[in-house]
Amino acid sequence: MSGLFSTFNIATRGMSAQQKALDVTSHNIANANTDGYSRQKANLETTRPFDMPSMNNAMGSGQLGTGVQVSSITRIRDSYLDYQVRTQNGTKGSSEGREKFLTEIEGVFNELSGTGISTLVDNVFNSWQALSGSPEVASTRNVVAQQSKALTDQLNSTYNQLVKLKGNSQDVIKQDVVDVNNMLNQINELNKQVIGVKVGGNEPNDLMDKRDLLIDQLSVKFGITIDKKSLSGEDLKPTDIGDMTNAYLVKSDPNDKVSRFSYVNSIVPKAVPPASTVQKPGDAGSYDVTYYKNGDTSTDANKVTITMDLTSAQYTSLDQSRVLWADSDGNAIKTDGSLIVAGDAFNDLALFIPKTGELNGYMSVQADIDVYIDQLNSLAKGIAFSVNAVESGESDASNDTLEFFVNGEDKTKEQDITAGNITVNQDIINDVMKIKVGVNDTTGSTDGNRALAIADLRDVKLDIQSIKPTTTRAEFLSGKFNVDATLGVSTISSSSNGMTIGGYFTNTVNDLAVKTQTATRNVTNNESLLASLEESRSSISGVSLDEEMANMIQYQHAYQANAKIISTVDELLDLIINGLKK
């Protein structure tokens, strides 16, 4: 019904609605710099009018409005831009993960300084060249020994730093597993709260913002897929699920099972006495695989060890990925969701290997580190085999009584030389006159032909790229070791498909430089694209202080106008009530 009291109620509703709109504006301004906050809007609509049309009042004057109310407070969000940003987050995360460690590998090789391996290789051959000119001088022999020792020390240091760097990348993966599981638990709790608020008929805008921010952060780790459910619930799973039957990490239904991730902390060869040979990491054999539930290494209660047989390829796959699918308690599971138990094989393990995100970058860079370690080992073996063969005149290590380069861990096992254990024979360092430099293979020979033949090795193309961990000197030199008619000593002939020692290492460094430049370029491009997407999203969801100030003035004026109506109605009521007494 109409009347002054009806007008009074309309104005009261108007003041209340404008006040709520001011509250929303104030909330927007307060969170203008809050990460993940989405601008909110108070949606105003008219309240139910009087005199709804019916058969009884068809001839009436029509509906009479009763004012305004806030129908809802919604957040401004574009789900498609969210999808694009999260997809780009994964791409950028992968590039950044690779670039971070590839840059560190470049620092390990240190080729821009004067102490890099390339420089030291040149110094070694230069010292042999100088020795060929004055083989009778002890000081030139000492220079050969010390320059060679400097090279092996640098090879040892580079190898150990690469191994440490690989361990660092695995530590980052372990921390990412912990962070991912924590984020998933938070998202799951927020999911429940969002649904609870929606059931009550309200809009959980701030809760959904917090959930979206966590999902944005999660998308940096790996690609994600989101299924929208009723009451604003969300089901979340990785984009790359492999053969997993239940790949969901978050479910809107609290009764549904979800998965988590666990971290493989160590893969140790299992000693099975009596052992005729020592099983090295990477060899096919039996291993103790130890993982920690949810990546939490703070207590041994989370430690689980499984014994299984691994091929060399399976060892490499497990070593480079390290992340296992697990149930909500962190127990490793198979692809069908059942638990891994004693006696299960490698193929029963469900490895999580994403194709995008930081985890992908950290996993893929381990393969690069392994390649550079292998190439460094091949370089060390190539140097040792070739110098030892010419210096001793023997193509078979079993006939060499005084090797120049030896395995520092066991000098009787030249075939096991790596960049990590290569060193100069201590007997030669103690007595440099034992270095064989002349045609006569005795240490007392004073002509420099043998030293010259070793110096000439810098230009010989060797099959270094074909060296394997099990390659022996005899296999390496097969068909290529013969007497040089000019020098009168045994030397190595070039291989048509071979590479010089310097060229081989230069090729390794150049390959690293190309990969690093590619990763850096990808990071720059991805950052630019992500910045553009985030700017587009911010233009929609972000808070504009100018716009909020304009809204504030608009709501303020509307509030004042409604207050003026109440004041006017008050005067009219006073006139009616008190004026009629006169």
Number of domains in the chain: 3
- 142: Cβ contacts below 8 Å, ≥ 6 apart: 432
pLDDT in tens, 530-554: 999 999 999 999 999 999 999 999 9
Q: How far apart are CA 403 and CA 428, in angstroms?
A: 9
Flag whether 125 is in a domain. Answer: yes
Domain finish residue from 327, 353, 379? 353
131 and 8 fall within a common domain = no
- Tokens 């032909």 — which residue? 449
296 and 421 fall within a common domain = no
395 and 454 fall within a common domain = yes
Exposure class string for 217-248: b at 16+ Cβ within 10 A, else e: bbbbbbbbebeeeeebbbbbbbbbbeebebbb
Flag whether 420 is in a domain. Answer: yes
The rounded percent of the chain whose pLDDT value lies above 90 is: 84
pLDDT in tens, 381-402: 999 999 999 999 999 999 988 9
Mean confidence (pLDDT) of the chain: 93
294 and 324 fall within a common domain = yes
DSSP 393-445: T-SSGGG-SS-SEEESS-TT-GGG--TTTEEE-HHHHH-GGGS--SSSSSTT-
pLDDT in tens, 294-311: 999 999 999 999 999 999
- In 3-state terms, what secondary structure has residue 364? helix
Flag whether 199 is in a domain. Answer: no
CB 269 within 8 A of CB 287: yes
429 and 474 fall within a common domain = yes
Residue 282 burial by Cβ neighbours in a 10 Å radius (0-12, 13-18, 19+)? middle
Residues in the chain: 582
pLDDT value, residue 2: 66
Domain assignment of residue 116, given as a range: 106-165+364-500
Model confidence at 74, pLDDT cuts 50, 70, 90, reads very high
295 and 422 fall within a common domain = no
| Confidence (pTM) | 0.90
Across 498-511, average pLDDT? 95
491 and 419 fall within a common domain = yes
Helix (H) or strand (E) holding 99: helix 79-109
pLDDT in tens, 255-275: 899 999 999 999 999 876 555
Exposure class string for 419-429: b at 16+ Cβ within 10 A, else e: bbbbbbbeebe
332 and 415 fall within a common domain = no
CB 514 within 8 A of CB 106: no
- List 70's β-bridge partners, or say none: 44
Q: How far apart are CA 405 and CA 424, in angstroms?
A: 5
Would you call the peptide bond into 254 cis, given omega within 30 degrees of 0 as the criterion?
no
Can you say whether the dihedral through the CA atoms of 378, 380, 386, 392 is positive or negative? Answer: negative
